Amino acid sequence: MIPPETTPPPQAWADQVAPSLDDFARLARDAFDALPDDFRRAAGEVVFRIDDFADDQTLADLEIQDPFELTGLYHGVDIGRRDSLGPAAEPSRIFLYRRPILDEWCERGDVGLSEIIAHVLIHEIGHHFGLSDDDIHAIEDAD
């Protein structure tokens, strides 16, 4: 039996549904809009796409077997490697994967969904700026 002081409140979640792809898109846009103006301007035109999971080819290319391991992905030529005299680069895209993000949110339980979405988004923008995973983790660890 659970002691009375730790008894959970009535199930407020019983009639709730998981956030949709559109809900995630709004949260990602809110996270991007909350970034400092200089950071947003430096990011330029980047397209955000929300999918439930990465497609099979992407997972194979990254040698990822469990689709829940990939919460986001940057696809494009990072800003530092663009050639202004060459052909126009495809638009840079940031993919956020709803189901793995939801899974991480549920497993962690100590942070809000919008915070996780913002974290993944900012991580992928870091790749857009040309930063490696190690660079991004070093910046995060310095905070």
Contact call for residues 73 and 94 (beta carbons, < 8 A): yes
What does the pLDDT look like over 22-43, one tens digit per residue?
Answer: 999 999 999 999 988 888 888 8
Residues whose CB falls within 8 Å of the CB of residue 88, separated by 6 or more in sequence, listed in order = none
Instruction: Name the β-bridge partners of 96.
Output: 50, 72
- Whole-prediction pTM: 0.81
Domains for the chain: give ranges and CATH numbers. Answer: 19-78+89-142 (3.30.2010.20)
What does the pLDDT look like over 81-110, one tens digit per residue?
Answer: 665 555 556 788 999 999 999 999 999 989
